[in-house]
Amino acid sequence: MTDDVAVEETQASTDEAPEGDARYLSRQISELDFNNRLLDLAEEQSVPLLERVKFLALFSERIDEFFQVQVAGLKRQVSADLPSRSLDGRTPTQQLGAIRAKLAPMVARQAGMFTGEIVPELAKSGISLLDWTSLDAADRRHLAELFDQEILPILTPLAVDPRHPFPYISDRSLNVGTVVRDPDGNDARFARVKVPPILPRLIRLLDGERFVFLEDVMAANLDGLFPGMVVGEPCFFRVTRDADLTVDEDEAENILAAVREDLRQRRFLPVVRLEIESKATPDVVNLLLAELGIGADDAYQIDGPVGLDGIWALHGLDRPELLDEPWVPVTRPPLGSDGDEPVDLFSILSRRDVFVHHPYDSFATSVEALLNEAAGDPGVLAIKQTLYRTSGDSSIIAALTRAAERGKQVVVLVELTARFDEQANIEWARVLEEAGAHVVYGLVGLKTHSKTTLVVRREGRSIRRYCHVGTGNYNPKTAKMYEDLGILSARPELGNDLTDFFNSLTGLSHPPAYHDLILSPRGIKERVIEEIRAETLTGPDGRIVIKCNGLDDPEVIDALYEAAAEQVQVDLIVRGICCLRPGVPGLSETVRVRSIVGRFLEHSRIFRFGSAGRPVRYFIGSADLRRRNLDRRVEAMIPVLDEEARRQLDEVLEINLADDVQSWALGADGEWSRVPTIEGVATQERLQDLVKDRQAIHEAPPSARPTTWGWFSSRRSRSR
């Protein structure tokens, strides 16, 4: 597989980004800015305490991945001496310097927030995180016994001396380091003990919600690992390694075997970061830097616990008063049962399209229901699906397996190279193949990221096709945490398109001309730019609203700049990376960019072109406006034709643009700032309220139902 980062930056330098081009913002810095917004939420006093803990843990996980992929890619460019530049004109070395300057204060902010704010607030709520020095004698005796009986037997102390080379340090492993010496001699040696990942990071004391970090217990009992030796002051450290797979799909005879081999090799990839306690001595820091083969700029000294991804356990405590109020997704009214009669999903879809919005609408009673019903329906002949990521106990896999075992034609495209889910996807592929499903692994050189399902059913003497096209993965767990959209449909045109699409994925045919389906590569970018240019021609009457997770494609950005030059009004709702610079006089004065961050991860992609009085075009799909999505992935986008679905997309977009609680705005200087709260519109809370109202209206007698309802009508009534 070609290196994503190297390709993106090289293309930027040769085609789109002259040195010092101020039209574009740095992709890496923009990604760090999104992570900084997570820290803003962790700092927000109105956010429930354990949700603030969650945002700190999420920040740690995302920064880990940033180093594993983005920083690692830049370091490979530096090592290869590639003459590449980023969109904003920086060399890889300059980008690494900018990342360090941006990230170091963020890391310090996270550590200070945890130790100075979160830990004291937890203590006020009866959840104490204690260090060894604050424990009484009884606690220490208990933990010493626990160490001897359950921890010590699985530890392996590794010393560094002429007979013992520096040990291999695995990716993201937490370690206790110390210097030991023989009391009869002067030789001092460094020793390392890995904190076992199989054990809980937080040890609960016997009397309730008091906790001690596992590494603190190990550090206090190191004498038991080095009997007869003088043990120095312990310190905690952690390394991050390059984690990008480099499967050469053009040369690999068997892509499955190639991915398996690369997974084995991943753990030996270079170190790209060292996290270490700030109290570590310079000698220990320098030793680690030298042995790991990294420089001082790759080390981050931490004033607090190292690796705060380990505090996820706190978020799982049974303390509902410290968490967001639970949200139970509702069944969208067209899919709900009518009294004791079971839902006939096929009958519903044969009459109309159904729009679903997760996690507000239930994934279980829509997408999962379609697959479950298809698996058991004797009229269903075939099920075809693209599978990028799914959950560990996937009901989706269970339904596909049942269908295959009952003799239905089941075809699943499993994307083996979905980053960090490679091993899980290999296992799902094996399960499906053993059940009799046809499993394919996508197209050479392209990741298949589309979210598409096709169900083929015999109805009397004819064949009918039922479809789902969405913006999110077929993952029941993330469907409760990620905001996503989907369309369930039995429109013949879409069914024909998906039939041809799956045949092109599994066979050797060239993609045909599609009626509704728009694909990448060579499709979505071109259509989006075509729609932008159509609005550009209308000048000040033009209107563009786009909601996505990332925008870094220079051709799309330039098209939006051209629209702005003609005074087209452009609103971009971009959760994460945005390389477009809004509000610049003479370049992007009519462009506004905002990001919404809340309890649910905003993940849907919506494209709206046109304004009142002119034809308005709506699209949803799996692709962000990023080069990786538009040029190197198989993505699917469709027009939204159902009037009810279009109305609800307008509702979602208007609420997003009215948000003044969960929103940040991007300035012309590239800096993000909170949108001032005036009306108090919080997108996710407002959508929850609307779903509850919709459910109540559906359950009310017909005579009691309003003739108009929704965000638009309720907002108009408030304004009156």
- Closest CA relative to residue 488, chosen from 453, 436, 514: 453
The answer to whether the Cα torsion of 641, 645, 647, 653 is positive or negative is negative
pLDDT tens, position by position, 526-547: 999 999 999 999 999 999 999 9
- Closest CA relative to residue 243, chosen from 365, 123, 78, 64: 64
315, 357, 358, 449: the catalytic one is 449
pLDDT tens, position by position, 130-187: 999 999 999 999 999 999 999 999 999 998 876 678 888 999 999 999 999 888 877 8
pLDDT tens, position by position, 422-454: 777 788 888 898 999 998 887 767 888 999 999
What pLDDT, on a 0 to 100 scale, did the predictor assign at position 266? 63
**Residues 6 or more apart from 463 whose CB is under 8 A from it?**
381, 456, 457
The neighbouring-strand residues paired with 230 are: 181
Cβ(637)–Cβ(623) below 8 Å: yes
Per-residue confidence band for 718, with pLDDT thresholds at 50, 70 and 90: very low
3-state secondary structure of 590: coil
CB atoms within 10 A of CB 583: 17
pLDDT tens, position by position, 682-713: 999 999 999 998 887 766 666 555 544 454 44
- Closest CA relative to residue 599, chosen from 390, 323, 329: 323
Cβ(239)–Cβ(292) below 8 Å: yes
What pLDDT, on a 0 to 100 scale, did the predictor assign at position 685? 96
CA atoms within 13 A on the CB side of 713: 9
Per-residue confidence band for 246, with pLDDT thresholds at 50, 70 and 90: low
Residue 504 pLDDT greater than 60, yes or no: yes
**Residues 6 or more apart from 640 whose CB is under 8 A from it?**
355, 487, 618, 619, 620, 646, 649
Residue with more model confidence, 577 or 264: 577
From CA 424, how far away is CA 418, in angstroms rounded? Answer: 10
From CA 537, how far away is CA 609, in angstroms rounded? Answer: 12
pLDDT tens, position by position, 349-391: 999 999 999 999 999 999 999 999 999 999 999 999 998 888 7
For residues 324-339, give the mean pLDDT. 85
Predicted structure pTM score:
0.90
From CA 582, how far away is CA 253, in angstroms rounded? Answer: 47
What pLDDT, on a 0 to 100 scale, did the predictor assign at position 337? 65
What pLDDT, on a 0 to 100 scale, did the predictor assign at position 12? 38
11-20, 474-483, 581-590: lowest mean pLDDT where? 11-20
Residues found in the chain: 720
Residue with more model confidence, 394 or 372: 372
From CA 33, how far away is CA 98, in angstroms rounded? Answer: 12
Mark whether 438 is an active-site residue.
no
